[in-house]
Chains A and B, each alone.
Chain A
Amino acid sequence: MTEQKTPSLSGEKFIKTLSHLIHSVKIHQDNNQLIKDALTELRGCLAELAPDEALTLQIWRGRFHIQGERVVYRRETFAIINSMVDYFSQRELGGLGFQAGVAQVADEKLVRFIRLLGEANKHTDPPAWLELQMEKEGFAWVEILRKPDEDAQPHGEGNGQGLGPDDGQDQTHQLEKASTVYGQARSAVKELAEKSAQGSAGVRKARRLAQAIVDIVREDNALLLGQVQHPSDDGYAHAVNVAALATCLGRYLGLAPLVLEHLAVAALLHDLGKQGDPQAKPFKESGSPDEWEALRRHPLISVKRILKMNIPSDIRAGALAGAFEHHLNLDLSGYPRTTFLKQVSLFGKILRIADAYETLTNRGDTHLRVLTPDEALRRMWSERHKSYDPILLKCFINMLGLYPIGSIVELSNGALGLVMGYADETRKDRPLLTLLVDDGAGGLSPGEMLDLTGTAASDDTPPLHIVRSMHYRQVGIDPAQMFKEGLKASLGDGALSNAIPSGR
C-alpha cells in the first residue's frame, strides 16, 4: 500500500541556511555580506518554523527532526543534510534548542555562537564545552542538546520512523516482505534471463521486483543488506545481490525513487549476457584465453539482449549503461574496449562498486579466495583511485560500515558475532552484533544482541573489540538466515529492537 506525506520543505531550508551560515562564518569576517545575508535568511526560517515560540532541532537515528517531526528534504539537498548530520555528530551534539525570540538576537552574537560551534570539536567533551561557553557568553537563547537516548522517541509527539510498541510488528512484516522479495527474486531474474536469451522478454516483472526492492530500501535498507551475504555462484543470485547493494547506495546518495527503480532494473539486467542460454559455455574468470575473451564479451551480449527487450526508453538507457560499464574503470580501462564513450555514468559507477563487492564476497575473483565483507572493502579501497569512483566508494563504505551487515566477526573474548547494523553511525568500526552461540547440535544459532559502542572498559576487563572477520563459508552458516532470525529475536525484545538502525 502506498502512502505519501505532504512534504514541508521549511525544515530543509532551515538546515540548508544553517549550513550556509556555518560555511560562511568559517571563511569570512563577521561583517561580510554573505554572513549578513545568511543571518537574514536564518531569521526568516526561524520565523516561519516557530513564530513566537521555541524551536528544537534534533538528530535522532541520523535524521534531523524539528519540533519532533522528521525533516523532509529533497534529494538534491541530501548531501548538505548529510554533511550537517556529520557536523553535529563530530561535536557529539544531539541538537540545538532555540528560545522564542532568537530571531531578535544581534548579528554578532549569532555569529559568535556559530564560531563557538565550529570550535567545539577540538575539545574532548564538545557538548560540555559548549554549555560552558554559552554560560560565559550569556547566551541564554540557545540550549545545547546532548545525544538523545535513541531507545526513546524524539522530542515532541512526532511521526518519525522509530520503533514504537507497534513498530516491532511492522518491522517483522517488513522483514518478511524483504525476505519474500529476496527469495523470489532469483527465479524472477532467471526467468527474465532465459526469456531474453530466447529473444523475447518484457521488463514488467523486473520493474515490479525493482519497485519492491526500492520500497524496502526506502523503509530500511538494513533489511536487504542483511540478505546479500549468500553464495551467488549461478549469477542469478548475483544479480539480485547487486541490485540490493546498488539500490541501497543509490538511496544513500539521495536518488529519487523513480531513478532508484531504474537503477535496480539496471542492476538486475547487468549480467544478462552471462545468463539464460543453456547452450552457452559457463563463464569462468580463471579459464582459458578463449573463456577469458568470452567473459570480456558478456557486457556486449547484455547490451544486445537489453536492446531486444520491450523496455521503456528511460529505463533502457540506465540498463544499457549498467550492462556496458560495470567492468569499466574510471579511466575507461577495463572491458569492453571503448572508443566513443567519454565517461562512465553514475549507474555504471554504482554497479561497478556493487558488482565488485558482491563478486569478491560471494564468488571470489580470478586469483583470490572469497573475501569477507571487510576484506572486500579494504581491497576495493586500496584500488579506489584506479578501479572505482573514490567518492562513491567512500559513500558505499560509509553506508555499509567497516564491517557490513551480515559480516561474521570474532571478538576479543573469543565469541563470534553477526553484524546487524550500527547503533552509532559515526563509529563504523563498532557495529551492533548478534552473538552466535552453540546450538547444541554442532552448529550456531543467534544469541543475544551486543552493541560494541556500549562495551566500555571496566576496571578488570578491557572493552570488547573485533579481532578478525570470518567468511560464512569458513564458519558454515547462512548469514542471511541468521540475520533474519537475529532480527526477529531482537524485535521480540523492545529495548534491543530500537538499536537496529534504519537505513537512510
Chain B
Amino acid sequence: MEIEAARKIVASLLLARKNQALYPEGHTIWKNAVEALHALLASYTKTYGTLRIYIEKDQLLVRNEVIYSGTMEEGALPVILFRDGIRWLAFMPEISLGEVQTLLDIINRYSMLSDVSEGDIVTALWEKKPPHIGYEVADFAWGEETGSGAGSASEEGLRAMPPQRQAGPTDWSPIMDPPIDQAELALSFEDITAIQAMLAEEHRDPTHTLEILLDGLQYREMETYETILAALADTFKRALVNGDLQTVLKLLQGLQDVLEAGRTEMNPGAVKMLEGFFRTISRPALLEPFGKMWAELPDGRIEHVKEIFTYLQPEALPVLAGCLQLKQSPAHQRMLEDLILTLAGRDIRPLEELLKGRDTKAVHALIPICIKLPGERPLKLLMELVRHPSESVRQEALKGLMSKGSVHMQDFYNLIEDKDPSIRRLILKVMGQTRDHGAERFLLSYLGSDSFRQAEEEHIMLCFTTLGQCGSSRSIPFLRQTLLGRGWLPSFQPLPHLKGAAVALKKLKLKESQEVLEEAGRSLIPRVRRIARREIA
C-alpha cells in the first residue's frame, strides 16, 4: 500500500510538472494538479510518516522498491535530480501547498541542462530551504565533475601534507609586536553602527564591479584586455536594460579616461581594441533600450543621455533618429538634434544611410539636421532628397536647399528646369512660399531666358505666379514691359507670357503693380486690356 501510494505521488508530481510547464501560473488545471499532489503527500505523510525517495540515474526508489523508472533522456525527473547530485528527496508531515509549489518551480526552472551555471536545483533548494522538504546531496567532490574518483580526496587532500617538525635554522624567538589590550577589542556603539552600515551597503553599489573592471585594464595583456572589455560590454548592456544610466555613463567616462591616458603608452593593439569597443556598443541593436526609455525619461536624466551619446560613435545615430520621431518637448527635440549633429559631424555615413532609407518619417525628421550640417555632402544629400518619393520630403529638401544660402542657390534653381514636372512644380511652390530676393532675381533672369520662351504654358504660368509670390517692386519693370511693351512699342509677347505677367502683378499686391495692371486695363491693345481687366476684377 505504501509503495503504491508513493507511486501515485510520483505520477502526480510528473503530471503537476507537466501542467506547470503547459499552463500559465494560476490556471485552474495548473492549480488543481499542484493541489492534488499536495493532497497525496499530506495523506501519505499522515499515514506513513516522511516519504523519502531515493534517486538513481534512471529510476526513483522508496524502501528499495522501484516506484518510477524511465529513460535517461534530458529533462526526465530522475535524470535532472541525479545530475545535480541529489541522493534523496524527503517529504515530511505537515508539508504545505506553498512548499510543493516551490519544489515544482525549482525543478522546472532548472530542468534544462545548461553549461551556464546560473543555478541548479540543489542551490535553489539550499537557498529556499522549504522546511518540510529534505534532501541529501552527494558531496561536492563526487559525481561527474570530479573525474578523479573517490580516492582522490584522500590522496590529494589537505592531509597530504603532514607538517614536519621544522629542522634547520628557523629562529623561533618571539616577535616584537605588543600584546593586544583586550579592552580595545570591545565593540563600541560606533563600531556596531559602522558594521551595520557596512552590511547595509554591501552589494548596493552597482558600480563597484565596474570600477574593478576599469582598474583591471591597467594590465595590458591582450587576453585580459579582451576579457575585461567583453565584461564591460555586458555591464553596459545590463545597465542599459535596467535603465541604470549612471552606470552606463560611468563606464563610458572611465573607458574614455583609459583611452586618453594610455593612448601614448598603450599597446596599439589595446588602443584599437578600445576604439572597437566604442564602436561595438554604439550599435543600434545594443542601444535599443534607449528608444524604449526615451519617451518616459524624466528631465533630470536627460542630461545623462546627452553625455552618454557624446561618448558614442556615429553608429548610434539611428537610435537618436528613432527618438526624434517621438512626441516630446522642444527642449528634448533640440537636444536630440544637437546630438545627431555632433555624431553626424564626426561621420555622416550613418545619417546618409538613414536619409536613403525607406523610413519617410525618419527622413523627414532628419532633414532639418542635414540642412544644418556644413559641407558639400549634406548638400548633395538634400539634392538627392529632392527626388524622394514623398512630396513632403521633397518639399522639405527644397526648403532646406533654399535656406543653404546663395552659394548653393544655383544648384537649387537649376531644378526649375528639371525634366520631372513634379519637381519643377515643387520648386516653384517652395520659391513662392516667401518673398525672397534671391528667388526673385533668379526668376527674373530665367523668365528672360531663351529656354523659358520655349517652355510649356503651364510652366510659364507657374513661373510668373511664383514671381508674384516671392518678388518685390523690383520685378515691376520687367512685368510692365512684358505686359505693355517698351515706350510706345506695344508688347509682342506670347499670350501665356502676357497672362503670366498680369497674374504676377496681381500677386505682388503692391500699389505700383496695381497701377501697372490698371494701365494695362486701359491699353489700346484688346488682348492686353482683356487680360488685365480679368485680373483686376
Interface residues of A (CB under 8 A from B): 1-6, 23, 75-76, 79-80, 82-83, 86, 180-188, 190-191, 202-205, 207-209, 211-212, 227, 230-231, 233-234, 237, 240, 253-255, 257-259, 261, 297, 300-301, 303-304, 307-308, 310-314, 316-318, 320-321, 324-325, 336-342, 345-347, 349, 368-369, 371, 375, 377-379, 381-382, 391-392, 394-395, 397-398, 402, 428-429, 468, 470-478, 480-481
Please choose the segment from B9-17, B211-219, B283-291, B471-479 that sits at the chain A interface, where 4 or more of its residues have CB less than 8 A away: B211-219
Q: A475 to B162, alpha carbons, bound, how many Å?
A: 12
**A324 CB to nearest B CB, Å:** 5
Nearest residue in A to B186 (C-beta to C-beta)? A86
B187 x A472 contact (CB < 8 A): no
Q: CB < 8 Å: which of B134, B194, B200 contacts A2? A: B134
A230 x B158 contact (CB < 8 A): yes
A341 x B154 contact (CB < 8 A): no
A314 x B203 contact (CB < 8 A): yes
List 16 A-B residue pairs with CB atoms under 8 Å apart, sorted by A's residue number.
A3-B129, A181-B139, A186-B157, A187-B148, A187-B152, A188-B141, A191-B148, A227-B158, A300-B216, A341-B212, A378-B180, A379-B175, A394-B187, A473-B163, A474-B170, A476-B165
Q: CB < 8 Å: which of B120, B195, B202 contacts A347? A: B202
Chain B contact residue count (CB 8 A cutoff):
89
Q: Does B419 sit within 8 A of A, measured CB to CB?
A: no
Q: A429 to B118, alpha carbons, bound, how many Å?
A: 45
A230 x B163 contact (CB < 8 A): yes
Q: A349 to B194, alpha carbons, bound, how many Å?
A: 13
What is the interface of chain A mostly: helix, strand, loop, or mixed?
helix
B135 x A2 contact (CB < 8 A): yes
Specify which chain B residues have a CB less than 8 angstroms from the CB of A480 in the assembled complex.
Answer: 158
Nearest residue in A to B147 (C-beta to C-beta)? A191
A337 x B215 contact (CB < 8 A): yes
Pairs A-B, 7 closest by C-beta atoms: A476-B165, A208-B140, A184-B141, A4-B131, A79-B192, A184-B153, A378-B177
B117 x A324 contact (CB < 8 A): no
Q: A480 to B160, alpha carbons, bound, how many Å?
A: 13
Q: Does B496 sit within 8 A of A, measured CB to CB?
A: no
A475 x B85 contact (CB < 8 A): no
Q: A4-B130, A317-B203 are in contact. List 7 more A-B contacts (CB 8 A).
A: A2-B130, A4-B131, A83-B187, A212-B140, A346-B201, A397-B185, A480-B158
Q: A368 to B123, alpha carbons, bound, how many Å?
A: 41
A1 x B203 contact (CB < 8 A): no
Nearest residue in B to A90 (C-beta to C-beta)? B186
Interface residues of B (CB under 8 A from A): 85, 90, 115-120, 122-123, 125-127, 129-131, 133-137, 139-141, 145-148, 152-154, 156-166, 170-172, 174-175, 177-180, 182, 184-187, 189, 191-196, 198-203, 208-216, 218-219, 223-224, 227-228, 230-231, 238, 254, 257
**B222 CB to nearest A CB, Å:** 11
Q: CB < 8 Å: which of A230, A308, A338 contacts B215? A: A338
In the complex where A324-B212, A473-B163, A474-B165 touch, is A211 in contact with B157 (Cβ < 8 A)? no
Specify which chain A residues have a CB less than 8 angstroms from the CB of B163 in the assembled complex.
Answer: 230-231, 472-473, 476-478
B254 x A307 contact (CB < 8 A): no
Q: A349 to B146, alpha carbons, bound, how many Å?
A: 32
Q: CB < 8 Å: which of A211, A231, A321, A471 contacts B161? A: A231
In the complex where A183-B159, A340-B214, A476-B164 touch, is A346 in contact with B117 (Cβ < 8 A)? no
**B85 CB to nearest A CB, Å:** 7
A428 x B185 contact (CB < 8 A): yes
A187 x B153 contact (CB < 8 A): yes
Q: CB < 8 Å: which of B136, B140, B166, B202 contacts A259? A: B202
B227 x A342 contact (CB < 8 A): no
Q: A298 to B163, alpha carbons, bound, how many Å?
A: 27
Q: A304 to B219, alpha carbons, bound, how many Å?
A: 10
A307 x B228 contact (CB < 8 A): yes
**A133 CB to nearest B CB, Å:** 24
Q: A308 to B234, alpha carbons, bound, how many Å?
A: 12
A397 x B115 contact (CB < 8 A): no
**B138 CB to nearest A CB, Å:** 9
A82 x B219 contact (CB < 8 A): no
Q: CB < 8 Å: which of B141, B158, B182 contacts A428? A: B182
Specify which chain A residues have a CB less than 8 angstroms from the CB of B194 in the assembled complex.
Answer: 391
Specify which chain B residues have a CB less than 8 angstroms from the CB of A317 in the assembled complex.
Answer: 203, 208-209
B125 x A2 contact (CB < 8 A): yes
Specify which chain A residues have a CB less than 8 angstroms from the CB of B136 in the assembled complex.
Answer: 1
In the complex where A1-B90, A4-B129, A336-B219 touch, is A205 in contact with B145 (Cβ < 8 A)? yes
Specify which chain A residues have a CB less than 8 angstroms from the CB of B166 in the assembled complex.
Answer: 471, 473-474, 476
B139 x A312 contact (CB < 8 A): no
Specify which chain A residues have a CB less than 8 angstroms from the CB of B134 in the assembled complex.
Answer: 1-3
**A174 CB to nearest B CB, Å:** 15
B152 x A382 contact (CB < 8 A): no
B126 x A346 contact (CB < 8 A): no
In the complex where A212-B140, A312-B119, A391-B195 touch, is A379 in contact with B187 (Cβ < 8 A)? no
B148 x A258 contact (CB < 8 A): no
Q: A188 to B178, alpha carbons, bound, how many Å?
A: 39
Specify which chain B residues have a CB less than 8 angstroms from the CB of A379 in the assembled complex.
Answer: 175, 177
B85 x A208 contact (CB < 8 A): yes
A312 x B118 contact (CB < 8 A): yes
Q: CB < 8 Å: which of B116, B177, B186, B215 contacts A375? A: B177
A237 x B161 contact (CB < 8 A): yes
B179 x A320 contact (CB < 8 A): no
Q: CB < 8 Å: which of A203, A237, A402, A475 contacts B182? A: A402
Nearest residue in B to A297 (C-beta to C-beta)? B219
B187 x A398 contact (CB < 8 A): yes
B116 x A304 contact (CB < 8 A): no
In the complex where A336-B215, A341-B215 touch, is A321 in contact with B208 (Cβ < 8 A)? yes
Nearest residue in B to A427 (C-beta to C-beta)? B182
**A56 CB to nearest B CB, Å:** 26
Q: A478 to B494, alpha carbons, bound, how many Å?
A: 121
**B139 CB to nearest A CB, Å:** 6
Specify which chain B residues have a CB less than 8 angstroms from the CB of A377 in the assembled complex.
Answer: 180
